[in-house]
Amino acid sequence: MNENTIFKKIGLASGTLDNIVESKSEPAPKPAAPKTASKSPSQPKPVPSIGRLNSTVKMDLTNEDEFKAGLAAIRDANSEVTWFLAALNDKLALDVVGTGAGTVEDMLSLVREGTANYGLIRIVDVIDGKSNTLKFAYVVYLPDDVPPMKKGKINTISGNIKDKFLPVHVEFFVNVKEDLTQDQVEDKVKLTSGSKAR
């Protein structure tokens, strides 16, 4: 028995024959024709990405017309509305909590405890001291009292919820409503746009 024969037998026994370098005197094995009729059972099925999973999870609005009207009001430059707030109900559908003229603190005073709340704050950003532009801050308030199982369900639809609020310029994620102030929102908007003097 020669060395090549020993290597072949070891390779066959261990299933690594393809990894063994064969001598030049033996012809190389021909590659097998690709199978087209069925998949090999050893090939794993492709797993969808988290983003694709989130986009396929259905997210409901309890009142779509009210939701659209609230967003339209905050995006209207001639409107007095400066904030819009929605919250998930027990069925994980999005309810409109309200709209108003005021600060992020005013909006956060109306959040629902025990569930996720999603808000939009409108900020007037002055560029170069003369051009007023509207900027929007997306605020997610998820209090600590939300049960872990509900948080998991909320996370599966969070991307779809954010899509309903787009476009936004900055984002805030808070679990204590007193942790976010109007000054912080305005500062982040101005830093992001470059209008804040450094």
| For range 128-148, the mean pLDDT | 92
Give the pLDDT of residue 4: 74
The domain locations on the chain are 63-193
pLDDT tens digits, residue range 25-43? 555 556 565 555 545 455 5
- Calculate mean pLDDT across residues 183-196: 89
Model confidence at 50, in pLDDT bands (50, 70, 90)?
very low
CATH superfamily of 63-193: Severin (3.40.20.10)
pTM of this prediction? 0.70
Per-residue tokens: 68: 């659209």
Element (H, E) at 132: strand 131-141
What dihedral do alpha carbons 109, 111, 114, 119 form, nearest 10°?
-140
Query: What are the tens digits of pLDDT across the range 78-136?
Result: 999 999 999 999 999 999 999 999 999 999 999 999 999 999 999 998 887 788 899 99
pLDDT for res 22: 45
Residue 133's SS3 state is strand
Q: Amino acid letter at 73?
A: A
The pLDDT assigned to 8 comes to 73
How far from chain centre, in Å, is Cα 20? 46
Q: Are strands 170-174 and 94-100 parallel, antiparallel or unpaired?
A: unpaired
Q: Given this model, what pLDDT does residue 108 score?
A: 97
Q: Note the Cα 107 to chain centre separation in Å.
A: 23
Give the model's pLDDT for residue 107. Answer: 97
Query: Both tokens of residue 42?
Result: 């050893």
